[in-house]
Amino acid sequence: VAWAVGEAGIILGTVDAGATWRTQYDDGRTSFTGLWATAAMTAWVVGDGGIIKKTVDGGEHWMDQTSGTADDLYAIYALSADTAWAAGHAGTMLFTADGGAHWTPQVTGTAVSLHGVSAADADTLWAVGDRGSVIKSADGGLHWTAQSPGVTVALTDISAVDAQSAWASGERGVVLKTTDGGANWVKQDSTTRADLASLRAVDGNIAWAAGDGATLLRTADRARYFAEGHTGDGFQEFLCFFNPQESQAAVIIKYLFADGTSQVQQVALPPESRTTLDVNGTVGPGRDVSVIVQADGAIEVERPMYFNYLGAWSGGSDAYGSMGPSVNWNFAEGYTGAGFDQYVCVLNGQSRPAAVMFDFQTQENGPVSLAGYIVPANSRATFRVNDLLGGAYQNSLQLKSTVPVIAERSMYFNYAGGEGGMSWSGGHSVVGAPLLANQYLFAEGTTRSGFDEYLTLQNPGSSRIQVNAVFEPGQGQGAPVTRIFSVDAGKRQTVFVKDVVGADKDVSIKVSSASPFLAERVIYFDYRGYGADWTGGSCIIGAREVSTEWLFAEGSTGDAWHEYLCLQNPNSSDSMVQVTYYTQERGKLAPESFVIPANGRVTLVVNTHAGPDLRLAARIKVTSGPGIVAERSQYFDFGGWTGGHYSLL
């Protein structure tokens, strides 16, 4: 349920998430400039000449309220169906405590026009306006104090998170944030000079802003979220941090547990460094744990886990954290047959419970929808998909939640499809995709002996799609192979890559479609490089686009650790890249440059390139030419637990 307002007295309403909009009011003359809804049936609008209208029946009727002013009103904010503030021309501020039956003027102490107002609670509220004006009240608007945001452009909107935190937006792309009640406002890098008209914050980390020229911005404020994590018997969990900046980075780590409790850790990351934290040692044994990482700088963090699952299947997994919660999560891969255990971990960092629904697309039994599952506030929950589905199913998943959450899928396996009937045990973990895309790029991939590679395509849409796939073999291994796969509505399809390109090929993949979809690549292996004999598997969602910079926080060239960087250039011209390693043992190493040929890929053996016995992060930066795709592969023997994991941000 949503509303939109605009010029010429228009009020539109939707009850189907915007698929259709119905005109609820249209007087042909009034400009409505402010709107706030407190529930599916209750909303206010404000506009020219002090007009205030309210609906209590979902927009079937809009009733006039007496504002007591002829000044234009630009914004309204309601804490409830009874309590609201309206702001407008020449410092106008109105307050109601009875649902708008009576509106009382408040003295703001400013003569500038106020374009935004927002309340954190019944006492704490801010308003913003022309000439960089910010005012705050600590007593529900009875008294107001001016603050100094450090800008002079008009501020157009404000969104309070709590009594200490708020966001503001304005002209020329200005976005401000305070975390100390407004004593200091910090200008954010919004990446635009467009005038911003409105802003909404989800929490202290995530905000949206919109403005001129169809500008739409979103920030996650460098936060990363990990839903999965376990420190029980047979599991070792780490957090690997990479700070590429020339200044120290302050990091706050919040560990959330299944019982609703939490633990906070603060860490200072030195400039240009790689740091490893032992999660088991921090939170103690036997914990199901999710993690939220917040930093004051541009860092990267990964979560490697090593395990001996059920005392039988050893391996490891690695994941980049999600940039923010969502009410929708998509997973293309999944299997609950013999030798496979599939889980979905859900992190609910909100202050209210989340009701989650699982919409599975199974190859064997079509769609399966399951509802009625609750994740308590500020906690995590684990769901075993084998139990949810109750049988052997190849499955994709759309997870839906009533509040924004983080969802991650973990799989542990004893893969029996290996060469000669061998069993390859291991596991992998993937943070889901909150949004679908029209293309995915995979840098790594091989059909050499000891490797079985699959491509899984998910179409959660309502009509059949055509997916164009280009398989790019390694240099000297033949011409690209193109295939078109038809995926029916609400279906998934699995492609065995060796059947497409043949055996003994290194292969990068690009898949694309005119319609949004999801693609994951799974590799099961018996890795025998440099004398190893380590079985395992990995799974990743492809990159949506090329980039001129790639950062990897995890990496090791120690004894029984083999690391590779696979660099793919899917463009028609060469790219020059610079690779720099940041080690815990020797600091930052001297950068080296490489040419990645057009429509080609280069694999770096990091043990040789960087040197042995290092724990290291890597930075790959394009110095000339088009962007590339970079992927890191890591194979290991972790104290007898053998396996591997791949990483692609």
pLDDT at 556: 97
What is residue 206's three-state secondary structure? Answer: coil
Which residues are 397's β-sheet partners? Answer: 331, 360
Distance, in Å, from the CA atom of 462 to the CA atom of 447, rounded to the nearest integer, reads: 34
What is d(CA 453, CA 564) in angstroms, rounded to the nearest whole number? 17
Q: Say how many CA atoms lie within 13 Å of 176 toward its Cβ.
A: 31
Residues 6 or more apart whose CB falls under 8 angstroms from that of 375 comprise 346, 347, 348, 353, 354, 356, 381, 401, 405
pLDDT at 218: 83
Closest CA to 600 of 501, 516, 514, 479: 479
Q: Which helix (H) or strand (E) holds 388?
A: helix 385-389
Distance of alpha carbon 29 from alpha carbon 10, whole angstroms: 9
- Long-range contact set of residues 104-110: C-beta below 8 Å, sequence gap at least 24: 105/68, 105/69, 106/141, 106/142, 106/144, 107/144, 108/135, 108/144, 109/135, 109/144, 109/146, 110/135, 110/144, 110/146
The residues pairing with 519 across neighbouring beta strands, listed in sequence order, are 457
| Mean of pLDDT over the chain | 93
CA atoms of 413 and 422, how far apart (whole Å): 13
What residue type is assigned to position 630 of the chain?
A
Q: Note the pLDDT of residue 325.
A: 84
Going by C-alpha positions, the residue among 570, 448, 446, 470 that lies closest to residue 519 is: 470
DSSP structure class, residue 97: S
Q: How confident is the model at residue 219 (pLDDT cuts 50, 70, 90)?
A: confident
Taking the C-alpha atoms of 570, 573, 574 and 576 in order, what is their torsion angle to the nearest 10 degrees? -90
Rg (CA), the chain: 27
The mean per-residue pLDDT over the stretch 92-107 comes to 97
- Residue 407's pLDDT is what? 97
CA atoms within 13 A on the CB side of 74: 24
Q: Taking residues 152-181, what's their average pLDDT?
A: 92
- Per-residue pLDDT band for 510 (boundaries 50, 70, 90) equals very high
Query: Average pLDDT, stretch 599-627?
Result: 95
Specify whether the CB–CB gap between 437 and 493 falls below 8 A. no
Assess whether pLDDT exceeds 80 at residue 444. Answer: yes
Instruction: Determine the pLDDT at residue 418.
Output: 59
Across 570-580, b (16+ Cβ under 10 Å) vs e yields bbeeebebebb
Beta bridge mates, 319: 303
- Give exposure, 591-620, as e/b (b: 16+ Cβ within 10 Å): eeeeebeebbbbbbebbebbeeebbbbbbb
How far apart are the C-alpha atoms of 79 and 70, rounded to whole Å?
A: 24
d(CA 136, CA 231): 45
- Decide if 426 contacts 535 (C-beta within 8 A): yes
Which string of b and e fits 380-416 if b means at least 16 CB within 10 Å? bbbbebbebbeeebbbbbbbbbebbbbbbbbbbbbbe
Q: How far apart are CA 118 and CA 102, in angstroms?
A: 20
**Among 354, 293, 355, which residue's Cα sits nearest to residue 319?**
293
Residues 552-595 pLDDT 10s: 999 999 999 999 999 999 999 999 999 999 999 999 999 999 99
| Whether the Cβ atoms of residue 649 and residue 628 lie closer than 8 Å to each other | no
* Dihedral angle over CA of 309, 311, 316, 319, nearest 10: 30
Under the banding of pLDDT at 50, 70 and 90, the label for residue 220 is low
Q: Which of 280, 220, 219, 221 is nearest to 255 (CA)?
A: 280
> In which band, very low, low, confident or very high, does the pLDDT at 420 lie, cut at 50, 70 and 90?
low
- 178 or 117, higher pLDDT: 117
Q: In terms of Cα–Cα distance, which of 291, 268, 270 is closest to 279?
A: 291
The amino acid at residue 282 is T
Using one digit for the tens of pLDDT, what is the confidence trace for 341-364?
A: 999 999 998 888 999 999 999 999
pLDDT beyond 70 at 634: yes
> How many CA atoms within 13 Å lie on the side-chain side of 168?
38
C-alpha distances in Å from residue 533, one per residue of 32, 180, 213, 519: 69, 55, 56, 29
Exposure of 291 by Cβ count < 10 A (0-12 exposed, 13-18 middle, 19+ buried)? buried
- For residue 523, give the nearest of 545, 508, 543 by alpha carbon: 508
Q: Backbone phi, then psi, for 566, in 5-degree steps?
A: -105, 120
Angstrom CA distances, 219 to 130, 184, 328, stand at 24, 20, 18
Span 412-434, mean pLDDT? Answer: 87
pLDDT band at 180 (very low <50, low <70, confident <90, very high): confident
3-state secondary structure of 373: strand
d(CA 324, CA 566): 27
Decide if pLDDT at 186 tops 90. Answer: no
- Above pLDDT 70, what percent of the chain? 99
Residues 6+ apart with CB under 8 A from 340: 386, 411, 412, 413, 414
Q: What ranges make up the beta strands (E) of 376-450?
A: 379-384, 395-415, 424-431, 437-442
List the structure tokens of 416: 């029996």
301-336 pLDDT, tens digit per residue, is: 999 999 999 999 999 999 998 887 888 899 999 999
Per-residue pLDDT at 649: 73
Distance between CA atoms of 336 and 577, rounded to whole angstroms?
41
Please report the pLDDT score of residue 562 as a whole number: 97
Q: Which two tokens stand for residue 502?
A: 């043949």
- 443: tokens are 């840098």
* Averaged pLDDT, 274-290: 97
**Mean pLDDT throughout 501-527?**
95
Average of per-residue pLDDT across 499-528: 95
Confidence band (pLDDT; 50, 70, 90) for 221?
A: low
What's the CA gap between 179 and 167, in Å, rounded? 9
Distance of alpha carbon 384 from alpha carbon 74, whole angstroms: 50
pLDDT band of 222, cuts 50, 70, 90: low
